């Protein structure tokens, strides 16, 4: 592969990674919106939503891991390509391009990405269950007829 092909591949993998993060944020937003709009307590629904979210988060993190590894591999390949003579007319000088662009390519290590993802997963599940517990407390205070007990 040529340097410009590797550079294109690097940014294609970066775009894929961005889509995984976008999907992740949209799912969390939808899940929290769904949970906040529910009126009745329902432990089965809360458990099912938690399990389904955990499965999604696990698979999403795996995809992010794979794409992060691909980005790091492509960057390593870009840095190891030796320049090939003088550039043909009307082409980009690879060495000049390297000097300009490679210092800006700093993908994060997977460990930091994983830790951030897991922390967000834990907070999301905690928020789901906090809303469920709030519904349970509200159900205890409310009588079956729908009126609240007064002190």
In this prediction, residue 22 has a pLDDT band, given cuts at 50, 70 and 90, of: very high
Q: Are 53 and 124 in contact (CB under 8 A)?
A: yes
* Token pair 């390519």: residue: 105
Q: Of 28-32, 84-88, 90-94, 147-151, where does the model show the most confidence?
A: 28-32
> What pLDDT digit, counting tens, does each position of 48-63 carry?
999 999 999 999 999 9
Q: For residues 127 and 134, is the Cβ–Cβ distance under 8 A?
A: no
End-to-end CA distance of the chain: 76
Chain position carrying tokens 């320049």? 83
Taking the C-alpha atoms of residue 144 and residue 151, their distance in angstroms, rounded to an integer, is: 17
Closest C-alpha to 100, from 3, 15, 9, 13: 3
* 65 close to 114: Cβ distance less than 8 angstroms: yes
């Amino acid at each position: 592969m040529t340097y410009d092909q590797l550079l294109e591949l690097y940014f294609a993998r970066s775009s894929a990674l961005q889509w995984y993060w976008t999907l992740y944020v949209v799912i969390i937003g939808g899940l929290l919106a769904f949970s906040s709009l529910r009126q009745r307590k329902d432990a089965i629904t809360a458990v099912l939503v938690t399990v389904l979210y955990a499965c999604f988060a696990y698979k999403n993190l795996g995809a992010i891991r794979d794409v992060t590894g691909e980005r790091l591999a492509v960057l390593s390949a870009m840095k190891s390509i030796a320049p090939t003579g003088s550039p043909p007319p009307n082409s980009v000088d690879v060495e000049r391009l390297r000097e300009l662009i490679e210092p800006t390519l700093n993908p994060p290590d997977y460990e930091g990405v994983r830790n951030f993802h897991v922390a967000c997963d834990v907070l999301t599940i905690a928020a789901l269950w906090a809303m469920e517990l709030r519904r349970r407390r509200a159900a205890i205070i409310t009588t079956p007829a729908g009126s609240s007990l007064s002190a």
